[in-house]
Structure 1
Amino acid sequence: MSVISKKAEKIQATVELLDSEFSFEQFLAAFQAQYPKDWEKVKREYSKHERQTKPGKSQPMPAPIQYMRNALNVHLKASKPS
């Protein structure tokens, strides 16, 4: 289950707001402005996973910024013409 509901749609909507040559930082700022509750949920879920991870074990969820970077990369790869 995805941390963000309708993640693909929200990533697409955010990308559509930006210029074609946007940076990840611009994308992240736009996503945070457009979907502040979803951004807070990503951070909250990461913290929850961190608390539940036993010492010596690796955290199963990427850090919030990396989570968003991965989501953007998946979107860009899927929308690239073949």
Structure 2
Amino acid sequence: MAVLHNKEEKIEVVLSKLPKKYTDKQFVDTFIQLYSKDWGKIKANYIKQSQDKEPGTVITMPKPELYLKNILETYLAKKP
């Protein structure tokens, strides 16, 4: 199940609010401002995974900030 729905649309909205040269931190901060409920879902999913894991297993989901950076990188790589 996807953690974040309509990723591309949300990324486009966030990018439209940022200057041409932006940092990852600016992207994450702007995403949180615009989509606080989605940010909460991302964090909740990460926390749930880390609590539900068995000892010795690896959490497959990256930390929430890294998760957002990864979806941004994927979006930018696909963009022509």
Measured against the shorter chain, the TM-score band is: over 0.9
Quote the RMSD (CA, aligned, Å): 0.9
* TM-score, normalization by structure 2: 0.94
Could you list the runs of 5+ residues in structure 2 that have no partner in the other structure? none
May I ask how many residue pairs the two structures share in their alignment?
Answer: 80
Q: After the TM superposition, which residues 1-82 of structure 1 pair with which residues of structure 2 at under 5 Å, given as runs?
A: 1-79=1-79, 81=80
Return the offset for 1:77. 1.0
- Identical amino acids, percent of aligned pairs: 35
CA contact (8 A) 1:3 1:42 kept: yes
Could you list the runs of 5+ residues in structure 1 that have no partner in the other structure? none
Return the offset for 1:36. 0.3
* TM-score, normalization by structure 1: 0.91
